[in-house]
Structure formats: structure tokens, C-alpha cells
A and B are shown apart, each in its own frame.
Chain A
Amino acid sequence: MIIDWSTPLRHWDYFAGGAIMTLWLTVVIFLLSSIIGVLLAVLRYNKRTYPLYAISTVYVELIRNTPALVQVFLIYFGLPQFGISFTPLQAGIIALTINNSAYMSEIIRAGIASIPRGQWDAGKALGLTYAQMFRHIIFPQAFKHIFPVSANQFIMVIFNTSLLAILDVKELTDRALILNGQTFRTLEIFVFVTGLYYAIYFVVSTFSHWVNRRLFTSHAK
């Protein structure tokens, strides 16, 4: 058996395109699910509107306790049974956004819950409206707790996009599989792609740690 690195190296641009696709998917999914996550978190924080609280809680618990891959399957293979069909790319983005929004809502809710009761009371005493309190007092403080956890979640989304390879969304993993089928240079290709994923992971996690240290650490350690 001969190890021959020329195969992945010769197709570096093909992999680079895959890596860009992976990152693009991740950013789109992360942004969409953050928006939905904020909505869900607000609904789940406020028990006064009970039906909305109940629905959003059921949604979050259902999504968080079933595998992402099954959700991808449900959207892509399950829904056409009712005449609702998506392209692989649409299905992938929808399924992973649904999946990730549940996790984001929990992260955001935990961030809001970490703010002491007194901050709300102080805001009320100053005569601020609920929205003003949230925007000027609660959210800036909660963001400090939300940022590092959601950076981790961003990395999880990067890894989850690899599941979309089964739908032939041309991201990094799918391209590795395609090239593997064409060249049979299995080990070289998968080592190379693992290296690429690690590089992405390393850059994202180093950057998020740096941002966290620079902006959100109030006391020097």
C-alpha cells in the first residue's frame, strides 16, 4: 500500500470550495436559528402567555431530544409524502435551523436567567418599559454569558453540516465522499479533510476565545 498525497493536494480547490460551502451553510443556519432562538427564549421566559410558553417548550424539548439526522430525514424524505418537497439544500438548511434554534433558545434563556432579579426590579423602579429594560439592562449583561456558549454551538453547527452530505449538498464531507468514489485514495482524502475541519475548528475557537477575553472578561485573572 502506497500513501500518495498528490490526490488531495491536486484537488485542493475542490476542497476549498467545500470548506467555503460548509462555512456558508454554518453562518446561514446559525443566523437564522439565533433569530428563532431569541423568539423562543423570550416566549419561554414569560409564563404569563401560557399557551405560547407551552408550545415553545414542547418544541424545544422535542427537538433537543431527537437526533439531528432524523430531523433532516423527516424534512427531506418525510414531508414529500404530504406534497411538501424541498431541494436538498433547502431541506438541509431548514432541518438544521430547526434543530439549532432549540439549542440556541436554551443558551439564550440560560443567559437571561443568569441576570439577578434585582436588575429587573431596578429597571422597573426607573420606569423603563419591558422592551427598554431588556434592551438596555438585561441583554448587554446576558450577552456576556451567551457569547462563549454560542461560540461552542457555532462549532457544533459546523460539524452538523457534515450530515448534509447524505443529501448531496456539496459541502466538505460530501466532496470528500465524491472524490473518494472517483480516486479510491480513501486514507489520504479523509486525513486531509479531517485536517481541514480541524483548521476551521481551531481558527473559530481561538478567535472566539480571543474575543471573549478581550471584550467580556471584566476582571483580570
Chain B
Amino acid sequence: MDWSVIYEYRYLLWNGFIVTCKLSITAILLGTLAGIAVSMARTSRIAWLKIPLTAYVQLFRGSPLLIQLFMFYFGLSYIGVNIDIFKATALVFTLYAGAYISEIIKAGIESIPKGQFEAAKALGFSYVLLMFRIVLPQTLKVSLPPLIGFNLTLIKDSSIASIVGYAELLHQGKTIMNMSGKPFEVLLFISLIYFVICYPLSMFVAWMERRIYIR
């Protein structure tokens, strides 16, 4: 084993790390917003929104992320939409995350007793206000652990973007592998980076779940 390869290509790895962070953070933020919006619309009484949104959630939860990436990245340029790779991957990751997160938040919303909705209506709250002031804050305790858990998955899944050529950590790793001929060290180091990001988060999730369970 020859670890000097890591030091030699530190700039490429750092670059990949930044790009991975960029994609993950974009997907987490936009995906969470999309998830909240979709779950609110799906639990509201606007009937015509329900069918397309349910179809969207079903479709993105019912196919592999890799296929979705191919579909958007190759498919959009095929129908003549010019899109750069960051926007294409960020779009797919946002849609993918939005579908999963909306299910998590929807489950949270449905766990709130009906009386709360009726009380808010009696007080004259609008639906949006009712959600943000009354329902969503209460769902936080139930849906925060799975929400962070999913975002953890999303950070790990950002490595899949390397397959369509997005220059994130694993993609840079592949480049280094080809240049140095030391695949094992490079891949082990990349695993370590993911582990350092993900392990504290998963400990946090486990801690939160334990706390909820005890109460």
C-alpha cells in the first residue's frame, strides 16, 4: 500500500469533495422544500393537484436513481433542452429527494389528530398558516429522524452522479485511479471521507430516535 498517492492528488480530491458537498447541499435544501410543498398539496383539499403529484411521487420512488439520471441528462438534451451537468444532476436529485421527503412529511402530517385541523379552521387559519404554525412544528419530532436519515442516504447516493460524468468525489477518484494505478488506496480514502461525513449524522439520528422512544 502506498498512501503517497492521496497526498499527490490532494487538490483533485479536495475539488471532488467540494463538488460532492455542493450537489448534496443543493439536493438536501431544494429537496426538503419540494417535499414540504408536495406533501402540503397532497394533504390539502385541492383535488386536481393530487393525481399528478401522486404520480410524481410514485414514479420517483418506483425507479432507480441511476435511470432517472440517465433519463434527464441524456433525455433532456435529446429533446433539445440545453442543460449543464450540474443543473441536470441537481434537478434529478431534487426531484428524487422531493418524492421521498414528501412521503416522510406526509406521514408526519397524518399523525396529527384531526381535532387540531378543526380547531385551526374554527380560529380562521388559512391552510398554509395552519401548516406552518400548527401542524409542521408538531410533526418535527416524528419526521426529523427519518428526514435526516434520508438526507444521509442522499449524500451517499450523490456518488451515483459520477456515472453520468459529474465531477464529484468518486469521479475524481476514478480519474486518480486511472492516472496512478492505485485504486485500493484511493477508494479506501474516499470511503473514509464519506464515513466521516455520514457516521456523526447517523449517530445523531440514532440518538434522536432513542429519545423519542423513551418519551
Residue numbers of A with Cβ under 8 A of B are 1, 61-62, 64-71, 73-74, 77-82, 158-160, 162-163, 165-166, 173, 176-177, 180, 186-187, 190-191, 193-194, 197-198, 201-202, 205
Contacts and interface: CB of A to CB of B under 8 A. Distances in A.
Given A180-B74, A190-B70, A74 B62 contact: no
Interface in B51-83: 58-59, 61-68, 70-71, 74-75, 78-80
B184 A81 contact: yes
B182 interface: yes
B64 A74 contact: no
26 contacts: A62-B191, A64-B202, A65-B198, A65-B202, A66-B198, A67-B160, A69-B163, A70-B190, A74-B184, A77-B187, A80-B183, A81-B183, A81-B184, A158-B64, A162-B67, A163-B66, A163-B160, A163-B163, A186-B78, A187-B79, A191-B75, A194-B63, A198-B59, A198-B63, A202-B62, A205-B62
A62 B191 CA distance: 9
B13 to A, nearest CB: 13
Contacts of B62: 197-198, 201-202, 205
Given A1-B78, A69-B159, A79-B184, 8 more contacts: A65-B198, A69-B160, A70-B194, A80-B183, A187-B75, A190-B71, A193-B67, A202-B62
Interface string B16-34: 0000000000000000000
List the 7 closest pairs (A to B, CB-CB), nearest first. A65-B198, A162-B64, A159-B64, A201-B62, A78-B184, A67-B159, A67-B156
Interface centre among A66, A159, A187, A194 (most CB of B within 10 A): A66
B136 interface: no
Contacts of A69: 159-160, 162-163, 170
B156 A78 contact: no
A78 B183 contact: yes
Interface residues of B, number: 41
Given A66-B156, A77-B177, A78-B188, A201 B170 contact: no
Secondary structure of the A contact surface, majority rule: helix
A10 B25 CA distance: 42
B83 to A, nearest CB: 14
A58 B199 CA distance: 11
Contacts of B68: 194
Nearest to B196: A65
Contacts of A190: 67, 70-71, 74-75
Nearest to B61: A201
B157 interface: yes
B14 to A, nearest CB: 18
A159 B69 CA distance: 13
Contacts of A74: 184, 187-188, 191
Contacts of B158: 67
Contacts of B59: 194, 198
Contacts of A73: 170, 173-174, 183, 187
